[in-house]
Amino acid sequence: MQLAELLFWTGERIGDVRMRFREEVFVSRALRNPIIRGCPHCMLEHAADQPHPLRHVALRGDWLCRGVDICHQHLHPLVPL
């Protein structure tokens, strides 16, 4: 069940150049990028008040899409991690 949830949020390869991400099919280059980006505000919120903060920081699938340059929650530019 956890693996299915992880694939749902990170993309699952379904062919040579296709991926399924959140029940939609994308060309893999649209989702996979060698530069991993994220919102520092989201990551700080995930880690806040946790005894082991790095265990709670998570990447979000919507950060993977090319053309998505701003966090929709904080309206902050995504930064290379």
C-alpha 74/C-alpha 42 separation (Å) is: 8
Report, as an integer, the average pLDDT of 27-39. Answer: 80
Q: Mean pLDDT across the chain, nearest whole number?
A: 84
pLDDT(39) > 90: yes
Which range has the top average pLDDT, 8-12, 20-24, 44-48, 54-58? 44-48
Q: What are the pLDDT digits (tens) for 49-60?
A: 888 887 777 778
Q: What are the φ/ψ torsions at residue 22 (nearest 5 degrees)? A: 50, 50
C-alpha 55/C-alpha 67 separation (Å) is: 28
User: Considering the entire predicted model, what is its pTM?
Assistant: 0.60
Pairing of strands 12-13, 18-21: antiparallel
